[in-house]
Amino acid sequence: MKLLVDSGSTKADWIATDNDGNVLFTTHTLGLNPEVLSREDIIARLNSATEILEIKDQASDIFFYGAGCGTDRMKRFLAQVFQEYFTNATVLVNEDTYAAVYAATKKGDKAIVCILGTGSNCSYFDGEVLHQKVQSLGYIAMDDCSGNRFGRHLIRAYYFNKMPKELALEFETTFDLDADVIKQNFYKEPNPNAYLANFASFLIKHKDTVFCQQFITKEIKVFVENYIMQFEDYKEIPVHFIGSIAFFLKDEIETILNQYGITMGKVVSRPIDGLIEYHVLNA
C-alpha cells in the first residue's frame, strides 16, 4: 500500500493506493509543516485520522510532499518521525513544490511553478530538475501573495481602523478579534501562519471591493517581481499556479501577468490527484 500526501500548513490530503494506482481510500489531517510543529504535534495529527492509524503498519511506501520541507534538516526530521510511525514503510519526504510540478507539468516541459496557498513559493522546472533561486524564510519574512499575508493585511487594517466600516462590522462578526485571542494564536498556538490564512476567506469573499483589491493587486505584483522575474526566461515559458489562493484569484492573477507579458499556465487547486498518475507511471 502506498500513501501519497500533499500537505500545506493548514491541511494535508492523503490518498492510499495499491501498486496499480487504484485508490483504496482518501482522508485528511491538519497540515504537517515541520517548521512549526514538534514531533508530538505531528504524531497527534496522524493519530487523529482513524484510516491512517488503522493501516500504519501496512503501508509499504510513504511519498510526502509538504510545506516546510525545503531544507535537508526538516526533511530528515519529518522522515524520521514517519519512519517511527509507519514501521514497515520506505519514506520519501520532499517539499510541496515537487507535488505542484508533478500536477502541472509533464516530463520534458519547461515551466515556472508557483504555490499560492497558506504560504507561497516559486520554482523553475527545466523538464527534469527543479530549481529555486529564492529560499523561503517562512511566513514572517516572505510568503508574498499567500493566505497568511492577506490575513496579516486584514487584521492590521482592522486594528488601525483602515477597514471600511461596513466591512469591519462583518469582519468582527465573522472572527473572534479579541486582542488576547489573536496574540494567543500568534505566539502560543501551533501554526500561526495557518491561523492568519484563515482570514483570507474574508478577502476572497469581498475581492471585488476597492479595499480588498488594493491588497490583491499589490501582493500579486510583489510576488511577480520578487519570485517569477528571478528567472531569465519568465516571458518565454508558461507560469503555473497551485493552491487555494491561486484558484480563487486566478482572474486577478492572469490580468496582472498580462501586464508583465507573462503567459498564464494551469491553475490547480489541489495537486494530490496528479500525484497518483505520476507515481503509477514512475513505479
Q: Which fold has domain 2-99+272-281?
A: Nucleotidyltransferase; domain 5 (3.30.420)
Q: Give first-to-last CA distance, the chain, whole Å.
A: 12
Average pLDDT over residues 255-272: 93
Q: What is the pLDDT of residue 283?
A: 58
- Whether residue 100 contacts residue 271, with contact meaning beta carbons closer than 8 Å, is answered with yes
Q: What is the pLDDT of residue 278?
A: 77
CA separation for the pair 203, 209 (Å, rounded): 9
Domains of the chain, residue spans = 2-99+272-281
**Ramachandran angles phi, psi of 115, nearest 5°:** -115, 125
- Whether residue 123 contacts residue 97, with contact meaning beta carbons closer than 8 Å, is answered with yes
Strands 120-125 and 111-116: antiparallel
**Ramachandran angles phi, psi of 146, nearest 5°:** -100, 170
Q: What is the pLDDT of residue 161?
A: 98
Average pLDDT over residues 6-18: 89
pLDDT higher than threshold 90 for residue 36: no
- Whether residue 99 contacts residue 64, with contact meaning beta carbons closer than 8 Å, is answered with no
Which position has the grid cell 492590521? 156
CA separation for the pair 194, 130 (Å, rounded): 26
CA separation for the pair 279, 34 (Å, rounded): 24
pTM for the model stands at: 0.81
CA separation for the pair 20, 84 (Å, rounded): 26
Q: What is the pLDDT of residues 107-132, one digit of tens each?
A: 788 999 999 999 999 999 998 888 98
Confidence class for position 224, pLDDT limits 50, 70, 90: very high
- Whether residue 224 contacts residue 269, with contact meaning beta carbons closer than 8 Å, is answered with no
- Whether residue 207 contacts residue 252, with contact meaning beta carbons closer than 8 Å, is answered with yes
Q: Which of 16-20, 41-45, 265-269, 276-280 has the lowest mean pLDDT?
A: 276-280
**Residue 198 neighbours by CB under 8 Å, 6+ apart:** 10, 147, 151, 175
Q: What is the pLDDT of residues 272-281, one digit of tens each?
A: 877 877 777 6
Task: Tell me what percent of the residues of the chain surpass a pLDDT of 90.
Answer: 76
pLDDT higher than threshold 70 for residue 10: yes
DSSP-assigned letter for residue 119: S
Which position has the grid cell 496582472? 256
CA nearest neighbour of 242 among 119, 151, 86:
119
Q: What is the pLDDT of residues 169-196, one digit of tens each?
A: 999 999 999 999 999 999 999 889 999 9
